[in-house]
């Protein structure tokens, strides 16, 4: 009797241990299945990313093979379609006068762009291939693109002024955030890429901060250090003291001076905002 009871007790203990081990194995099995599912999901995500990159690369390769004059024609056609749609919306909403203003602005932009292009061509600063239809050495499509851009600018004015779809306050906040983030990215690029200019990072940040305290005098005052630096660079450092810059020319002097404008806007905007908060 005692032996049978002892055997039953041992068997029950063994059954308990076996059941415990089975439960552990089942739990381990579930964990392994979950890990495998996670691995499969990651592999699918990697495959999707790889596919997306391949598609983007194929698009980049396609556009890189498109000749410049054809690419400009494509962009101009798309812009023209957008302008037609924009003019239709402004006309149907009863603001056809903005279309007229847009035409005036577009003509001014076209004339200004033509003058700049003509100056560059006659001074052999650049030239255009023969595929373009030209007027006095300037491709007609370039000022026409500026003309369409001017009209589209009037449409943007219409949307921000009369459209109920645009909340000016929220749009301003979003614009500030976007500009600031874009500026931070520009500064990051400046430190990792020697060809990237600092102005691309400072200018968006300057505009973002200025929009918090839009005092007109900040823009006026900030222009002065820019011109002062340009004059100081070209008249004193280079000519009188003989300081050498690799690749230094008039364009380089402008690129060096421009950040002073943006940096001045940043500093003055910070001072103005702190004054509003503290006083």
Cα gap 65→68, rounded to integer Å: 9
Q: Could you give the count of Cα atoms lying within 13 Å of 50 in the half-sphere of its Cβ?
A: 6
**pLDDT tens track of the chain, all 279 residues?**
545 555 555 556 566 666 676 677 777 777 777 777 777 777 776 776 666 666 656 555 544 444 455 777 888 889 899 999 999 988 998 888 888 998 998 899 889 888 888 887 777 766 666 555 666 777 888 889 889 988 998 888 888 777 766 666 677 778 888 899 999 998 888 888 877 888 888 899 998 888 888 788 888 888 888 888 877 777 666 555 455 555 566 667 777 788 888 888 888 888 888 878 886
Predicted pLDDT of residue 10? 55
DSSP, collapsed to helix, strand or coil, labels residue 111 as helix
The one-character DSSP state at 50 is H
The two most distant CA atoms of the chain are separated, in Å, by 120
Distance CA 134, CA 138 (A): 5
Look at residue 84 in the predicted model and tell me its pLDDT: 93
State the DSSP string of 116-184.
HHHHHHHTTS----TTS-EETTEETHHHHHHHHHHHHHHHHHHHHHH-TT--HHHHHHHHHHHHHHHHH
The per-residue pLDDT for 62 is: 47
């Amino acid at each position: 009797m005692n032996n049978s009871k002892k055997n039953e007790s041992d068997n029950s203990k063994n059954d308990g241990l076996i059941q415990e081990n089975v439960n552990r194995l089942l739990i381990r099995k579930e964990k392994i299945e979950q890990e495998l599912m996670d691995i499969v999901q990651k592999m699918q995500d990697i495959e999707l990313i790889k596919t997306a990159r391949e598609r983007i690369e194929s698009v980049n390769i396609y556009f890189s093979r498109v000749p410049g004059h054809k690419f400009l024609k494509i962009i101009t056609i798309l812009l023209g379609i957008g302008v037609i749609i924009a003019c239709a919306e402004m006309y149907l909403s009863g603001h056809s006068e903005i279309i007229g203003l847009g035409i005036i602005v577009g003509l001014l932009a076209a004339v200004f762009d033509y003058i700049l292009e003509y100056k560059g061509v006659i001074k052999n600063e650049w030239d255009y291939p023969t595929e373009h239809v030209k007027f006095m050495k300037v491709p007609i499509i370039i000022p026409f693109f500026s003309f369409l851009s001017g009209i589209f600018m009037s449409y943007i004015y219409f949307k921000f002024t009369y459209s109920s779809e645009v909340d000016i306050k929220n749009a301003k906040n979003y614009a500030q955030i976007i500009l600031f983030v874009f500026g931070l990215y520009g500064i990051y690029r400046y430190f990792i890429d020697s060809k990237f200019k600092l102005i691309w990072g400072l200018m968006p940040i300057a505009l973002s901060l200025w929009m918090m305290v839009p005092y007109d005098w900040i823009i006026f005052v900030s222009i002065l250090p820019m011109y002062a630096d340009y004059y100081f660079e070209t008249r004193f450092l280079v000519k009188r003291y003989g300081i050498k810059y690799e690749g230094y020319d008039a364009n380089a002097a402008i690129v060096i001076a421009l950040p002073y404008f943006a940096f001045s806007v940043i500093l003055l905007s910070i001072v103005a905002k702190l004054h509003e908060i503290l006083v």
